Structure 1
Amino acid sequence: MSERDDWEREFDLAWADGAEHKEPSARARMLAARWKENPPAPVPFRADPEPVRSRRSSWVSTAVVLGCVAAVIVLLGYINFRAPY
């Protein structure tokens, strides 16, 4: 047999999936042992996270944006006023 045939036979996933007994992973065994002593609390499906409180209110942000826009308009008007034609 060639080396490729040995590799395919050794790692044949269909054969492994067809096994009658499947051993759980180490993590699954660890969690099962832990939960037997101390079961986890029930958690609702896709629970909503806690709402995030903003540091500033929305009107402050709006005032800052409008102030910046007004400053840019005034600056552009001043530059246009001073430009020689």
Structure 2
Amino acid sequence: MPEQDDREREFDLRWADGAEFKEPSARARMLAARWKENPPRPQPFRADPGPRTPRRSSWRSTAIVLGSVAAVILLLGYVNFRASY
């Protein structure tokens, strides 16, 4: 019986994929309705993102992270060294 269900399901999928008209998704219908009343403004292919705030140097961030890791390693080593005496 399960083989027959698989065959029927495969038939249904082939039948659905071969349909001439496919209904648009809910999002596509929603956007079409919204744009019918209020169409979006035209935009260039890659719109200018506008002014950017300057970022901090990635080297500075890397140095802070690596320095923090080194400090934690040294602190743990010191605590372990003091505990062994």
What TM-score do the two structures reach when normalised by structure 1? 0.50
Equivalent position to 1:6, from 5, 8, 12: 8
Shift of 1:34: 0.6
Q: How many pairs are equivalent?
A: 56
* Counterpart-to-counterpart distance in 2, 1:22 and 1:51: 42
**Aligned residue for 1:21?**
21
Pairwise mapping of residues 1-85 of structure 1 onto structure 2 (< 5 A)?
2-12=4-14, 15-54=15-54
Q: Which runs of 5+ in 1 are unaligned?
A: 62-85
- Identity among equivalent positions (%) equals 66
Per the normalisation by structure 2, the TM-score is 0.50
What is the DSSP-based 3-state SS (H/G/I as helix, E as strand, rest coil) of the residue aligned with 1:11? helix
Q: Larger radius of gyration, structure 1 or 2?
A: 1
Which has a greater percent of helix?
2
Runs of 4+ residues over 6 Å off in structure 1: none
Alignment RMSD: 2.6
